[in-house]
Each structure stands twice: as C-alpha cells, then as structure tokens.
C-alpha cells in the first residue's frame, strides 16, 4: 500500500496544491479531456519534473510516433533527447489492435512485459500511458477493452510500484469522464482539462474531479500553455468570467457549464 504522506510533484506547483500536495507515490492517475486541450503537455511536464530530479521516467505512446511527440515538446523548449542520451528518459511505442483485445489476459501481460523489457529491468519512478483511450479502438464489445485495461493498470502497480499518469480522450461535448467509463474508477485521482468559449475566445480550464485518500481543491481554474513552463494555472474560472465579461455584458447571463 502506498504511503499517503509521500507525494510526487506533477511539475506544476498550483496543481500540486489542488491535489492536496501532489500525487501519492505508487498510485495511478488520469488526465481526461477533449482532443487538443493539453493532456500530453501535462503528462510531459510531469515526466520532466522527475527527470530534473534525476529520476528514471518512462513514456509510452499508444497512438502516435515518439519522434512526433518529442518534436512537439521541442516547440515548448523541452529537450527530452538529452535525457534519452543519459538513459533516464525511456520512450516506448506500443500499439494495440482490436483483434487482440479478446485475448486480454495474455496480451495485458505482454503489454507490461514490453515496458519491463524496454527498461531492461531497471527501476523507474514515473510512467505515462498516452492515451489509454487508444487501446483497441474500433472493437465493438468494450467489455474486453475494459478488462484489458483493468489488468494492465493492476499489473503495473503491483510489478513496478511507480507513479503512473494516463491520459484519455473523450468525444467533444461528451458528458463522459473517460472513453471506456472505467478509467476514472481505476484511477486514484482524476484531472479534467477543458475548453470554454467566451466572447469568441477559447479559454482552457482545469479542475480536480477526484483525489482518493487526500484533500483536494475542486475549483475550476483557467490555464495557459507557456513555452518552457508548460501549463500555467491562473485564476478561478468564475473570477475570470466575471472580469472578462464585465457587469454590462453579464446581465442575464449564467456561467457556462
């Protein structure tokens, strides 16, 4: 059982505070939201924080080439290539096909074994799965995908004892918290990223939906993406809304949901 007094930074001081001090070491957390809201950036920020502390970190991409992700990180001024040369950053591409989902018992072990083999049995402290929603896309019976994902998360926690951050995409406008409606139950905490439209502008938002075994701040905040810093969390969305809209424009309007 993880020591709830031992925390792991997300790489964002404000988000750590929202989570009651950061992630609890050895647990699994979920970052959810529509496409393009910043989930991968937040996950890379989490890994970069570990790398600056001389930790060994593993990044598993499930639906994109590693090179594309790291080139994107370069646009933020983040050089993961240098950490690859030291051997402390280990990127891995794993693709799952719909036909394999029915063999989840066997294939889930193969998935975890692939991570073990990529690290050559070395201990590592942080792991990102980006995005778990890409697991077996297209399979008609989601039961197999759910069981597959459940086994993967359970085996990772038992075998590696690392702090894991997984991302998941949800359809635009969906009320779901995750793609398979299971990830949020398996995770010890859920961070929700979103986008709202105000006066023709797109405003990015973040809030903590769940944090097991910890206090949390569930206030919705606005955030921006800043080169070299990544996700920067600002004021509460409600305060931002009232400031931007102004009293005259605000009359008769409610806060967007």
Q: Is the CB of residue 232 less than 8 Å from the CB of residue 224? A: yes
Please name every residue paired with 90 in a beta bridge, in sequence order, or none if there are none.
Answer: 58
Query: Rounded to an integer, what is the distance from CA 67 to the centroid of its chain?
Result: 19
- 23-32, 42-51, 137-146, 247-256: range with lowest mean pLDDT: 247-256
Please name every residue paired with 230 in a beta bridge, in sequence order, or none if there are none.
Answer: 226
How many angstroms separate the CA atoms of 128 and 144, rounded?
22
Residue 223 counted as domain residue: no
Average of per-residue pLDDT values in the chain: 86
Residue 256 counted as domain residue: no
Residue 199 counted as domain residue: no
Torsion of CA 42, 47, 51, 57, to 10 degrees: -170
Determine the pLDDT at residue 241.
92
Q: State pLDDT tens for residues 129-170.
A: 998 877 655 555 667 777 778 888 899 999 999 999 999 987
Domain at 165, CATH number: 3.40.50.300
Q: State pLDDT tens for residues 190-240.
A: 999 999 988 888 999 999 999 999 999 999 999 999 999 999 999 999 999
Q: State pLDDT tens for residues 48-77.
A: 999 999 999 999 998 889 999 999 999 999
Residue 215 counted as domain residue: no
Which residues constitute the domain of residue 182? 7-192
Residue 209 counted as domain residue: no
How many angstroms separate the CA atoms of 112 and 147, rounded?
14
Alpha carbon separation from 75 to 36, 52, 143, 170, 175 (Å, rounded):
15, 19, 39, 25, 32
Residue 102 has pLDDT above 70, yes or no: no
Query: Mean pLDDT across the stretch 88-116?
Result: 74
Residue 208 counted as domain residue: no
Residue 254 counted as domain residue: no
DSSP letter assigned to residue 93: E
Angle (deg, nearest 10), helices 142-160 and 104-119 = 40
Determine the pLDDT at residue 141.
65
Number of domains in the chain: 1
Percent of the chain clearing pLDDT 90 (strictly above)? 60
Determine the pLDDT at residue 57.
98
Q: Give 19's contacts (C-beta < 8 A, 6+ positions apart).
A: 10, 189, 191, 208, 211, 214, 216
pTM above 0.95, yes or no: no
Determine the pLDDT at residue 252.
47
Residue 244 counted as domain residue: no
Residue 176 has pLDDT above 80, yes or no: no
Looking up tokens 């001090």 gives 21
- 249 phi and psi angles, rounded to 5 deg: -75, -25
Residue 241 in tokens: 């809304």
Please name every residue paired with 128 in a beta bridge, in sequence order, or none if there are none.
Answer: 59, 165
């Amino acid at each position: 059982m993880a020591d709830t007094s031992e925390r792991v930074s997300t790489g964002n001081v404000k988000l750590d505070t929202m989570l009651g001090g950061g992630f609890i070491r050895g647990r699994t957390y979920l970052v959810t939201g529509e496409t393009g809201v910043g989930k991968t950036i937040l996950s890379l920020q989490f890994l970069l924080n570990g790398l600056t502390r001389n930790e060994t970190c593993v990044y598993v991409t499930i639906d994109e080439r590693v090179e594309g992700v790291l080139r994107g990180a370069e646009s933020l001024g983040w050089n993961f290539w240098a950490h690859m040369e030291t051997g402390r950053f280990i990127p891995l591409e794993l693709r799952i096909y719909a036909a394999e989902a029915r063999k989840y018992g066997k294939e889930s072990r193969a998935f975890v074994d692939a991570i073990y083999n990529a690290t050559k049995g070395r201990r590592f402290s942080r792991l990102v799965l980006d995005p778990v929603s890409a697991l077996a896309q297209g399979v008609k019976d989601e039961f197999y995908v759910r069981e597959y994902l459940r086994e993967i998360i359970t085996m990772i926690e038992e075998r590696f004892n690392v702090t894991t951050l997984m991302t998941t995409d949800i359809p635009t406008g969906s009320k779901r918290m995750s793609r398979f409606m299971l990830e949020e139950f398996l995770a010890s905490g859920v961070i929700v990223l979103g986008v709202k439209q105000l006066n023709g502008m797109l405003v990015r938002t973040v809030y903590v939906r769940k944090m097991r075994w910890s206090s949390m701040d569930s206030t919705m905040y606005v955030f921006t993406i800043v080169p070299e810093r990544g996700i920067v969390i600002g004021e509460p969305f409600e305060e931002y809304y009232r400031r931007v809209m102004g009293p005259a424009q605000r009359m008769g309007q409610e806060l967007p949901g």
